[in-house]
Amino acid sequence: MPRPKQRTPELRDRVVRTAVALLAADGVAGFTTRRVAEGAETSIPAIYELFGDRAGIVREVYLVGFRQLRSRLEARALTGDVRTDLTDAVMSVRAFVRDNPALADVMFTRPFTDYSPGVAEMHATAPVRELFVERVRRCIDAGVMAGEHTDIAHVLLALTLGLAAQETAGWLGSSRASRDRRWAMAIDAILGGLRPSSSSR
């Protein structure tokens, strides 16, 4: 009688779930292949067979993070107020980073020296960037913002991630009110600075 197959899709899913949970609980410093294997109740050789090496697990965690962020962004209904909708996207990213700091670290700061996203991974993250681009495009089309939509989206997302990193590290203020005030100030400053000039109207 043949041995039952051990390297199943179910095991793969369990390993990825375990890796995401381990990262959330113990951060990057506590993330090892051995601990992932123990948590998933499997062996290190099984993980290597499924993912190749630790970098292969990190890759899956990276992709899970972007799928979760995309789902959060797409769940937000559009209001018809284009500036509000763009600000809502920014605040959704803020909330995601606040709720998942270690996962966001993997997604945006490359904390593992043995993993760097390749072309395929960057392609998989495109829907998040495209959502920001589309929100910006709507603002430009409505005449509340002027500029090149892709450039603006990149700058706005970079500002969002920078502020989120500062907030996660505890540098943006000691109270929720002060943090919220600084977020609002930054967003108002950049969006206000992108308003069309009176001469261009």
CA-wise closest residue to 20 among 67, 84, 88, 82: 67
Indicate the average pLDDT of the chain.
92
Domains in the chain with CATH codes: 1-52 (1.10.10.60), 60-200 (1.10.357.10)
- Predicted confidence (pLDDT) per residue in 112-134, tens digit: 999 999 998 988 899 999 999 99
Average pLDDT over residues 143-167: 96
pTM over 0.85: yes
Which position has the higher pLDDT, 2 or 104?
A: 104
pLDDT band at 9; cut points 50, 70, 90: confident
Asked if residue 5 has pLDDT above 50, the reply is: no
Concatenate the DSSP letters of all residues of the chain into one string: -PPPPSS-HHHHHHHHHHHHHHHHHHTGGG--HHHHHHHHTS-HHHHHHHHSSHHHHHHHHHHHHHHHHHHHHHTSPP-S-HHHHHHHHHHHHHHHHHH-HHHHHHHHT---TT----HHHHHHTHHHHHHHHHHHHHHHHTTS--S-HHHHHHHHHHHHHHHHHHHHHT-S-SSHHHHHHHHHHHHHHHHHHTSPPGGG-
14: left (phi over 0), alpha (psi -120 to 50) or beta: alpha
- Predicted confidence (pLDDT) per residue in 26-77, tens digit: 999 899 999 999 999 999 999 999 999 999 999 999 999 999 999 999 999 9
